[in-house]
């Protein structure tokens, strides 16, 4: 990993640049697939599944037999682990329920807010070199708790036309009934426009590669909502001289192995810690099964020394990491001062892997600096806030003149008349 010492603030943007392509570089191919699926439906889906995933499917719908077979292929210990993680994720997301808010804003004027589930949601589960069955839990559980009526999962098949048994087991455990073997741009296109086998949905949620991320962003032009831009994984660790170098190296590599376009960064106020972490990375990397992938990600990554905590925190908020680990003696300074991060992990014994799997928080998070404005997946991602109001005769008498005066001042006479005609009857 590249070591950078005391970088000039003017160079921070270039130093912290993500290794991702811009939308302009891949927008053309994404639009081509979107338009093809919109016009040709499943015919286009089948074509792109053959092109991008290398398999031709007779049917892209997961059958009950496939769900049943998957359960027999997942080791019992792993089944128990998945069930334990499910319980923790359910507990954390169920606790996010909020009661109805009701206020009498004036005598006889009652206003209230309630949350209602988004009826139709499409959930994207990444495949590739590491099928993420944990994403099934992270997306389906809050959707179920929210009360979404139609939950459609999409995930790319392997070259044998299959989904991993772990993904299917997790889906069945969460009560999924509609699972489509389709990935990439074509999956997002199917959920956006609907096809013969893929239902059209109101909102698309879930992480993916750069093409999936851009496809989701472009899908919003066609009336579909999305959760957030969630692309290649990234992690930033802040550490001082009290941290454990081997722990930090393991955390950095845990994200580096996600994909060649992942990025990991260490920001430290200790030069000796940076050197120790660099050595640990080399040592741990040598024995990783996914060494080739992690090595490429490491080339996109940085070890950055800064002189004090204030500079470190400023740099962290400028970067806005997806995952942020705090390993310092003054952890409260960073916990209280960070404003731009998807999920924060505090202390030596809180690895990012815990959030990926089983602590209970959600691992579907904004990347590429979008933490400055977006939240990660949570229960509210599957809900809408709706407002209601009921005004009595007394209430309209109380606020009627206010409405009339404001409407007239804006030149909207019909607005005024809608109140005046009622006030005339009441008076």
Strand order in the sheet with 109-117: 101-106, 109-117, 383-391
Helix or strand (DSSP H, E) at 238:
strand 234-239
3-class SS of residue 247? helix
Q: How far apart are CA 172 and CA 207, in angstroms?
A: 20
Q: How far is it, in rounded angstroms, from Cα 247 to Cα 354? A: 13
Q: Tokens 């031709």 appear where?
A: 56
How many other β-carbons are positioned within 10 Å of the β-carbon of residue 45? Answer: 26
- Nearest-CA neighbor of 382 among 203, 172, 126, 234? 203
Nearest to residue 184, comparing CAs of 163, 161, 207, 151? 207
Please, what's the largest Cα pairwise distance for the chain? 85
Which candidate, 242, 179, 175, 184, places its Cα nearest to that of 212? Answer: 184
Q: Is the separation of the CB atoms in 362 and 88 below 8 Å?
A: no
Strands in 234-239's sheet, in edge-to-edge order, are: 2-5, 302-305, 263-268, 234-239, 323-327, 343-346
Distance CA 296, CA 23 (A): 22
Q: In what order do the strands lie in the sheet with 150-155?
A: 178-181, 150-155, 120-124, 203-205, 225-226
**CA–CA distance, 280 with 276 (Å, rounded to integer):** 6
Q: Which residues pair with 274 in a beta bridge?
A: none
Neighbours of 96 (CB within 10 A): 13
> Which burial class, exposed, middle or buried, applies to 271 when counting CB atoms under 10 A from its CB (0-12, 13-18, 19+)?
middle
DSSP 202: S
Instruction: Check if the beta carbon of residue 85 is closer than 8 Å to that of residue 166.
Output: no
**Would strands 109-117 and 101-106 be described as parallel, antiparallel, or unpaired?**
antiparallel
Any idea which residues carry the catalytic annotation?
322-323
């Amino acid at each position: 990993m590249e070591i950078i010492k005391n970088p000039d603030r003017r160079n921070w943007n270039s130093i912290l640049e993500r290794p991702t392509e811009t939308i302009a570089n891949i927008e053309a191919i994404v639009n081509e697939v979107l338009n093809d699926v919109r016009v040709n439906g499943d015919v286009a889906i089948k074509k792109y599944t053959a092109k991008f995933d290398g398999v031709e499917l007779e049917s892209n719908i997961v059958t009950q037999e496939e769900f049943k077979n998957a359960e027999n292929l997942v080791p019992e210990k792993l089944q128990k682990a998945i069930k334990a993680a499910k319980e923790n994720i359910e507990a954390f997301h169920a606790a996010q329920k909020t009661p109805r808010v009701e206020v009498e804003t004036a005598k006889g004027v009652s206003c209230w807010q309630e949350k209602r589930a988004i009826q139709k949601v499409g959930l994207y589960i990444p495949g590739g070199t590491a099928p993420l069955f944990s994403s099934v839990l992270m997306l389906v559980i809050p959707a179920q708790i929210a009360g979404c009526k139609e939950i459609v999962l999409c995930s790319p098949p392997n070259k044998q036309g299959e989904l991993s048994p772990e993904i299917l087991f997790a889906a069945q455990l969460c009560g999924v009934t509609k699972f489509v073997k389709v990935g990439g741009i074509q999956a997002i296109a199917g959920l956006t426009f609907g096809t013969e086998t893929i239902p059209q949905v109101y909102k698309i949620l879930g992480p993916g590669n750069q093409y999936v991320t851009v496809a989701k962003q472009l899908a919003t032009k066609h009336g579909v909502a999305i959760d957030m831009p969630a692309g290649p994984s990234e992690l930033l660790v802040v550490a001082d001289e009290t941290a454990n170098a081997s722990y930090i190296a393991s955390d950095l590599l845990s994200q580096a192995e996600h994909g060649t376009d992942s990025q990991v960064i260490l920001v430290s106020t200790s030069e000796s810690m940076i050197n120790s972490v660099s050595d640990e990375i080399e040592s741990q990397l040598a024995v990783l099964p996914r060494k080739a992938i992690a090595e490429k990600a490491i080339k996109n990554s940085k070890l950055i020394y800064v002189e004090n905590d204030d500079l470190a925190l400023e740099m962290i908020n400028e970067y806005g990491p997806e995952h942020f680990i705090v390993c310092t003696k003054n952890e409260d300074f960073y916990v209280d001062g960070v404003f731009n991060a998807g999920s924060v992990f505090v202390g030596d014994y809180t690895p990012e892997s815990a959030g990926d799997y089983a602590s209970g928080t959600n691992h579907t998070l904004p990347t590429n600096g979008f933490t400055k404005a977006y939240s990660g997946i949570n229960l509210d991602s599957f809900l809408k806030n709706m407002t209601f109001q009921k005004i009595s005769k007394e209430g309209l008498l109380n606020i009627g003149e206010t409405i009339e005066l404001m409407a007239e001042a804006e030149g909207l006479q019909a607005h005024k008349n809608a109140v005046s005609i009622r006030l005339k009857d009441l008076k």
